[in-house]
Amino acid sequence: MRPLPLFLILFCLPALSLVAQSNIGVHDPVMIRQDSTYYLFCTGRGISVFSSKDRVNWQKEKPVFDTLPWGVQAVPGFKNHIWAPDISYHNGLYYLFYSVSTFGKNTSCIGVATNKTLHPGDPAFKWVDHGKVIESIPGRDMWNAIDPNVIWDEQDQPWLAFGSFWNGLKLVKLNKTLTAIDTPQQWHPLASRKINYYQPDSNAGDGAIEAPFLFRKGAYYYLFASVDYCCKGAQSTYKMIVGRSEKLTGPYLDKAGVPLVKSGGTLLLQGDTDWHGVGHNAVCSFDGVDYLVFHGYDAKDRGRSRLRIEKLSWVDGWPLVQQP
């Protein structure tokens, strides 16, 4: 029998389950590349994972966790639906931070897992969970331990940005293994959307800010964050803001010089006629090009959440989303 041409073989292989970027339903995506393969991690049961060779067609991979027993014990109501992962590579290890929480409460934890490789077929592939790094407790903490993002400073010291609603976004120094807060503890405020910044209370509703992501470019650290409301489909008002600082620990200011801890923030991208809302972004660089990775609520598909990847340019020291 004459063999089929290669293009027909590829066309007929359903096992690949490739899905175009515009059809991937994700929340809170982050992206990294190992060798020639891109990996996408996002909110989902056990942490959802996709792989791609071109950032356009994606294949669903096995979730990171089958179960997470410590999360069930730490957060009442948690059912292995893990939020807002953050992926990075440092000194031979991939670090995957993630959030354990339930909606609308600050009974939350941030954990971390490591792996030597992201390729599932590699014999060295194995996620090693190191458990809880930080937690927030109602009545004790006026912040929420979700939406982690790790960054290393000029001295190769790791720091963790995190937070959602309440009194806003925080930055804390980690130990060298990234498994605990360093001692003596160093905490810094990053951003807040409190209507009355100087009189915080226990109501999170007037502090709609979350998803910090820190990115160094040139002489500045840039703080990206999402404000207003996600997860409401056609009623979503999510949008992204940015500020910058010469120091990792801040203060972060917007273009007008307003501190982000006092409700400042320069608008980066918001919803339009095609998207009800856009947000929870990561920033990554491949081959000298910077990309904004985020999710948006598709106005042409009943407000469903979809993956978006857009190029970033820089004008006068500020990021600008390139229009397709």
Q: How far apart are CA 22 and CA 9, in angstroms?
A: 24
Burial 195-207 (b: 16+ CB within 10 A, else e): eeeeebeeebeeb
Report how far residue 225's alpha carbon sits from residue 217's, in angstroms, rounded to the nearest whole number: 16
Classify residue 166 by its DSSP letter.
Answer: T
| CA–CA distance, 132 with 309 (Å, rounded to integer) | 30
How far is 41 from 112, CA to CA, in rounded Å?
14
* d(C-alpha 317, C-alpha 198), whole Å: 31
The pair of three-digit structure tokens given for residue 241, joined into one six-digit string: 């803001």
Q: Of 210, 228, 254, 298, which residue is the catalytic one?
A: 210
Cα 116 to Cα 284: distance, rounded to the nearest angstrom: 20
Token match 């049961």: residue? 45
Verify whether residue 210 is a known catalytic residue. Answer: yes
Residue length, the chain?
324
* Contact criterion met (CB below 8 Å) for 279 and 295: yes
Distance between CA atoms of residues 128 and 132, nearest Å? 13
Instruction: Specify the 3-state DSSP secondary structure of 123.
Output: coil
Phi, psi of 262 (to 5 degrees): -120, 45
**Residues labelled catalytic:** 28, 210
